[in-house]
Chains A and B, each alone.
Chain A
Amino acid sequence: MKKSCIISHYCQIRDHAVIGDDETLYERCGADLSDFFTGIYQHFDISYPKFYKMDNLCKLGFLSVELLLMDRNIQQRYAGHEVGIILMNASSSLDNDRHHQQTILDRSAYFPSPAVFVYTLPNIVIGEICIRHKFTGEGTFFVRERFDPLFLFNYVNQLFYQDVVQCCIAGWVETLGDYYDSTVYLIEKTGKPDAGITIFEPDTIKHIFAKEK
C-alpha cells in the first residue's frame, strides 16, 4: 500500500467571498460577478494584465489557483511537468459560448471575435493557469452534472500512483451567468507538519467542498 497524499491547501470562491484554508481572505457583498472578480484581483495586488482579457470561467479559475498558490513556491519545488491540473464543472464553457453566439446572431452585424471564440472551450482555463505558473504537466477538463469528489479522488490518486504527477491542482470551477462557484485544492506527497494538512481522501474533499463561510 502506497503512502497517502495530502491536501496541503485549498481555496474557495463562492457567495461573495474568498476562503483559503478555513480563513476568509476577502469578502465583498453586493458586487456583480465582474466587479467581484476585479475586486479580488486588485485586493491581492495581482499584476497580470491578461486577466482582463479572460472570460469569467478563466477569471474564476485563474483567481482560485492564484490564491491557492500564493507564497507556496510551487515553481521552485517542482519541475513544470510534475504539476498536473485536473478540473471539472457542469456548464463547460456555456457562459462564454453565449457571448460568442451573440456576435453571430445578426448577419448584418456579423463580427465574431477571436478573443471571445478562443474561450469557448473549458480547458482554456487550464492553459491560462499553466502559462501563468509555467506548468507543463498533465491537464484534463471533465464535465459532470455535479462535483464528484470520489471520481476526482480516484483519478488524481492514480496519476500520483503512476508517477504522472508529483503535485496536482484539482477541483471544481463553475460559472454560468451570475452564478459562480469554485473549490480548488493542492495535492502533494508530503507537507510541512505545521500546516493545516488533511489526508487526501474522498471524505476530506467532500468536507472541503461542503464548507460554508
Chain B
Amino acid sequence: MLAEMTGIRLKEDNSIAPAPFYASVVDTALLAEKFAVIDDPVQYTRFEQLAICSLHDALSRSDVDPADPGTLFILSTTKGSIDLLEKEKENKFGQDRIHLWNAARLIQRFFTFRNEPLVISNACISGVQAILTGARLISAGLSDNVVINGTDIVSEFVLAGFNSFQSLSNGPCRPFDKSRDGLSLGEGSGTVVLSKTPFNSNRAGNIVVGEGFSSNDANHISGPSRTGEGLFIAINRLLKKSPVEVDYISAHGTGTPYNDEMESIAITRAGLQSVPVNSFKGYWGHTLGAAGIIETVMCLYSMHTGVLFGTKGYNEPGITHPINITGHSMKKDIKNCLKIASGFGGCNVALLLHKI
C-alpha cells in the first residue's frame, strides 16, 4: 500500500465466471499453506479458512480469553460459505454448513468462545455496524470484550449478481475519479478486538470507539439516495452527540458512479468537505461484509502511524460536490477518524474513532 500498488487483477477463472473479471482474490495455495499451520485446510471451506486465519492471528496477539463469560464473538458477513450453494445437498461439508449461524458456531467451537456467537448481516455496512454493535454492548455493560471478525469471499454467486447490476468496473475500480465505472470485488478477512479496559501489551489500546449511528435512506433498496439522506442523518446525529473536529474520513468509496457521488453530497451537507477523505477499495476491492472491519483496521493503522493513505485509482475529481480526496499517501496526525459505509437496503452507518 505504501508503494501504492493494487491487489486487483484481471482474473480468468471459468469455475466462477464465464468471462474474465477484475477482482482482488486471495491466493488459494498461500491460504492453504498459512492455514495448515493452524489446522487441516481440507476440513474447512474457503470462507472458514479466511476467518479462522484472521481470528487466529488477532487472538494470538490479544489478552482476551475466548472462554471468558464476558467475551462475545461477532461474525460480520453478507454471504458466508455461499460457494457451497452450487451443490447445496451433496457438498462434502454437509448441507448445514452454508447457514451463517452455523459458520459462526463452527468458529466459536474452534476458538472455544463460551457465549453463543452473533452474526450481523447488513449488506455492505455489516462490518462497521458490527463494531458499533460491539461497542454498544460493552458500554451497556453486557459484554467485557467483543471479538469481531468480518469475512466474505469472491464467488460466482456474488460476481454474477453484481454483473447483472452492471456495477462491475472494466478495470481496477477508481473511487471518486472522473472515469470511474463501477466496483471491483475483493475477498478477505479482518478482526478487531474491543475491550472494556485497555491492555497494556496492546498498542491498539489507545483508540476508543466513539459515537456511531446507522440510518436508512427510506428511498430505494439498491440505488443510493440522490441527496445522501441516510448517510447525512447518520453523520449529523453523530456530530451532534459528539461535536469533535474530524481529522480524517475513511469513505465507503466503491467506485460506482452513484455511491461516490452520494457520499460527496452527504459529506458536504455535514460540513466536512475540507476534511481529508480516502477510499481503500482501489487496493483490494470491495470485500462486502469484511470491508468495514478491514478498513477500520487500516484507520487504526493510520491513527497510530500518522500515515494517511492515498486513494488508489483516483486521479481527477468526478463528483459534483468537491470534497478533499487524498490522492497520494501523506503524513497527518489523526486524533478523530470518521468511518462511513453505505449499502443495499438503503443502509448507512457512521462511526467515530478517537485517539486518546
Question: Interface of A with B (CB < 8 Å)?
Answer: 80-81, 85, 90-92, 94, 97-98, 100-101, 103-105, 107, 110, 112-114, 117-118, 120-124, 126-128, 130-131, 133-145, 148, 151, 154-155, 157-159, 161-162, 164
- Distance A159 CA – B214 CA, assembled complex (angstroms): 12
Query: A120–B121 contact, CB under 8 A?
Result: no
Query: B85–A101 contact, CB under 8 A?
Result: yes
Q: Is B82 in the interface zone, CB < 8 Å from A? A: yes
Query: B233–A142 contact, CB under 8 A?
Result: no
- Which one of A98, A121, A141 contacts B85 once the chains associate, using CB atoms below 8 Å? A98
Query: A123–B121 contact, CB under 8 A?
Result: yes
Across the interface, name the chain B residue whose C-beta is closest to A113: B164
- Residues of B in contact with A, size category: 35 or more
- Distance A99 CA – B23 CA, assembled complex (angstroms): 25
Query: A101–B157 contact, CB under 8 A?
Result: yes
Across the interface, name the chain A residue whose C-beta is closest to B165: A114
**Can you list 25 residue pairs at the A/B interface with Cβ under 8 Å?**
A94-B99, A100-B157, A105-B86, A110-B18, A113-B164, A114-B222, A117-B165, A121-B121, A123-B345, A127-B216, A130-B218, A136-B218, A136-B229, A138-B214, A139-B216, A140-B133, A142-B118, A142-B119, A143-B100, A143-B101, A144-B101, A155-B137, A158-B140, A158-B142, A159-B136
Query: A144–B119 contact, CB under 8 A?
Result: yes
Nearest Cβ in chain B — how far from A157, in angstroms?
8
Known contacts A134-B218, A143-B101; A151 and B122 CB within 8 A of each other: no
Query: B233–A92 contact, CB under 8 A?
Result: no
Most buried by A among B80, B157, B220: B157
- Distance A23 CA – B85 CA, assembled complex (angstroms): 40
- Which one of A107, A135, A140, A159 contacts B120 once the chains associate, using CB atoms below 8 Å? A140
Known contacts A104-B156, A143-B101; A136 and B122 CB within 8 A of each other: no
